[in-house]
Amino acid sequence: MTSFRWWQRGTIYQVYPRSFMDSNGDGVGDLPGLIARLDYLRWLGIDAVWCSPIYPSPMKDFGYDVSDYTDVDPLFGTLADFDQLVAEAHNRALKLVLDFVPNHTSDEHAWFRESRSSRDDPKRDWYIWRDPAPGGGPPNNWLSCFGGSAWQFDERTGQYYYHAFLKEQPDLNWRSPEVVEAMLGVLRFWLDRGVDGFRVDVLWHLVKDDQFRDNPPNPAWREGMDPYQRVIPLFTTDRPEVHGIVRRMRALFDEYRDRVLIGEIYLPVERLVQYYGPDLRGANLPFNFQLISARWDASHLERLVDEYEAALPEGAWPNWVLGNHDQHRIATRVGGAQARVAAMLLLTLRGTPTLYYGDEIGMHDVAIPPDRVHDPFEKNVPGRGLGRDPERTPMQWSARDNAGFTAGTPWLPIASDFTSANVAVERGDPRSILTLYHQLIAMRRGEAALEVGRFEPVRVEGDVLAYVRRSRKDESDFLVALNLGSRPHALRGLGNSSRGTIALSTHLDRVGETVGEELALRADEGVIVRLAP
Ligand code: ISL
C-alpha cells in the first residue's frame, strides 16, 4: 500500500482563481481569497489543488496568455502571497499544482517582443515564423482553435507567425533548444518554490510539423460545427517529437521528490496513453477526458471504461476528469439528479479523480447576457455554445450578497439559485450534493478497494452500470451500481457480488440496509454496497 503516491490515492480539485474567492472587492478572485478557503478544501477532503494560471497576463485568454512565467499577476496577488499559499496549503496537508502554459506566450511577453523586432533577432526562432505563401496569404491551411487562420501577418518583418489559439498567443518553437532550456528553467523556478506539480496546458500541441504540410480536410465536418474541425489537425498536434519534450519535463520533475506531471491532452484513448511515455517516463497523469464527451448512457460508459482500462500500458496509473473551465458543467450536461450519479462514478472508478470547483455544490452553467461575455472564443465564434464563461461563474459560498464571493461587482454573473445552492447552506443539509461529495471523498480515502483496488466490470442491465472494486488484502470489497435512467430498476442475480450492506446512496439514505441477491435502485440512484466477506 505504501508504494502508492499521493497523486494516485488522492483527489485533485481544480480552482479557477478568477472565480474562486475575491479578497479585495475588485470582483475577481485572488490568492489571498484562495488561502482563506483552504480550510473548506481541507474539510471537503481533497488532496491537491490545481490552480489555473496566476502569472502576469494581459488576460486576453484569462491567464492562458502569459507575459511573464516567473511572477504573479497583481490581479491575483504577489509572489509573497504565493509563498504563503504554498505554506498554508502544506500546513493542511494539501498539495499545490500549478498550471504550466508552454505552447504559447502572450504577444506581450518580452521574448515575443524581441522575436518580432527583426528577422535577425537572436530570439527570432523562439517562435514560428514563415514567409507568406508564394501567391501571398498565409503559409498553409492551419487553423486556430479559436477561429480563423492560425497565421498572423506581421507588417514590420513581412512574415507570418503561428498561433494555435488567439493571435495574442503566439506559439513557442519547441524545436529550439534555447526555448526548451528557458521553459525547463521556468518549471525549476516554481518547483524550487515548493510547487507539488504541474498541469501542462495543451501538451499535445507543443510540436508542429517541420515541413509545414497542410492539414487534411475533415470529411465529417458540417456547416455549423466548430470551424476548427474543418481540417484534421494531423500536422499541428500530437507530433512524434513531442514525446521527447515530455520526457525532458519528467526527468526534471524526477530531480525533485514526489512531484506530479499532468498533461492536458484531448486525444482518442490509444493516442492519449502514449503520453505515459515509453517505460512510463512521460506524464504521470495524461488527463482522461472521456467522461466529458461521453454520452450519458450505461452501455456507452461501460465500453468507454473497458477501452480505457484495456489501453493503459502496464503500470500506468488511470485518472478521470468530470469537468473543467473549458467544458459545460456536469450538472448542465446530465442534469441535477444525474450529477449525483456522476459524482459517485468519478469517485469510485479506478484512478485519480479530478473535480472542478463548484461541481461539488451542483453548480450549473450560467447563461451570460451578450454584454457580459468575456471569453474570446465566444466573441470569435459566437452563438454556437462554444463560449466558456457559463462554466466559469463565481463560486457560491453563501446566501449573502454575491454569494459571498466578492464585496464588489463579480466579473461574471452569479447563478440565480445561489441562495440555496451554496457551501454554507449545503454543508448544513444532510441530503445535499455537497454532503454526498464529502462522504464519497471520505469513503474513498478510508477504503483501499476504492482508492487503489482492482476494477471488475459487472454488467450493464438496462440503464444500470455496475462494477466491483476489490482490494488486494482482506479489506472490504464494494459493488457500485449506478442507475443512469429515470426509472427504478432492480438488479438481480449478482450472487455474492451484491450481498452486503449499503454503504452510501446518492440519495443519502438507506445506509446499513441489507442487500441480498436483489438490489433495488430508485430512479437516478447510485449505491455503493460493502460486500459481505
Ligand atoms: O478549443 C479547443 C478545440 O477547438 C479545445 O479542445 C482546446 O484545445 C482546449 O480547450 C485547450 O485548452 C487549454 O488551452 C487554451 C485555453 O484557452 C484553455 O482554457 C486551456 O484549458 C489555450 O491556452
Range with the poorest average pLDDT among 105-114, 181-190, 412-421, 471-480: 471-480
Distance, in Å, from the CA atom of 204 to the CA atom of 233, rounded to the nearest integer, reads 11
* Mean local confidence (pLDDT), 312-322: 98
Centroid of ligand 1 to alpha carbon of 325 (angstroms):
9
Q: Does residue 2 have a pLDDT over 80?
A: no
Q: How many helices (H) and strands (E) does the chain have?
A: 16, 19
Considering the chain, what is the average pLDDT of its residues? 97
pLDDT tens by residue, 112-152: 999 999 999 999 999 999 999 999 999 999 999 999 999 99
Q: How far is CA 429 from CA 138, 417, 421, 434, in A?
A: 58, 16, 11, 8
Mutation to probe ligand 1, out of 143, 326, 388 (largest number of atoms < 8 A from CB) = 326
pLDDT for the residue numbered 459: 80
CA-based R_g, the chain, Å:
24
* 61 C-beta closer than 6 A to ligand 1: yes
pLDDT tens by residue, 180-224: 999 999 999 999 999 999 999 999 999 999 999 999 999 999 998
- Name the catalytic one among 73, 171, 196, 201: 201
Number of the ligand 1 atom closest to the C-alpha atom of 226:
4
Centroid of ligand 1 to alpha carbon of 145 (angstroms):
7
Mutation to probe ligand 1, out of 16, 201, 225 (largest number of atoms < 8 A from CB) = 201
Q: Does residue 39 have a pLDDT over 60?
A: yes
- Within 8 A by CB and 6+ apart from 85, the residues are 31, 34, 35, 96
Q: How far is CA 529 from CA 74, 467, 522, 523, in A?
A: 49, 11, 15, 17
Distance, in Å, from the CA atom of 529 to the CA atom of 514, rounded to the nearest integer, reads 9
Centroid of ligand 1 to alpha carbon of 230 (angstroms):
17
* 238 C-beta closer than 6 A to ligand 1: no
SS3 467: strand
Mutation to probe ligand 1, out of 55, 57, 60, 64 (largest number of atoms < 8 A from CB) = 64
Q: Does residue 1 have a pLDDT over 80?
A: no
Cβ pair 343, 334 in contact under 8 A: no
Distance, in Å, from the CA atom of 390 to the CA atom of 376, rounded to the nearest integer, reads 13
Phi/psi at 271 (nearest 5 deg)? -80, -40
Q: How far is CA 450 from CA 88, 286, 348, in A?
A: 29, 21, 6
Centroid of ligand 1 to alpha carbon of 333 (angstroms):
19
Measured by CA distance, the residue closest to atom 23 of ligand 1 is 64
C-alpha cell at 365: 452553467
Res. 435 pLDDT band, cuts 50 70 90: very high
Distance, in Å, from the CA atom of 235 to the CA atom of 197, rounded to the nearest integer, reads 29
Q: Which residue has the cell 512524434?
A: 240
pLDDT tens by residue, 267-313: 999 999 999 999 999 999 999 999 999 999 999 999 999 999 999 99
Q: Is 255 a catalytic residue?
A: yes
Centroid of ligand 1 to alpha carbon of 202 (angstroms):
7
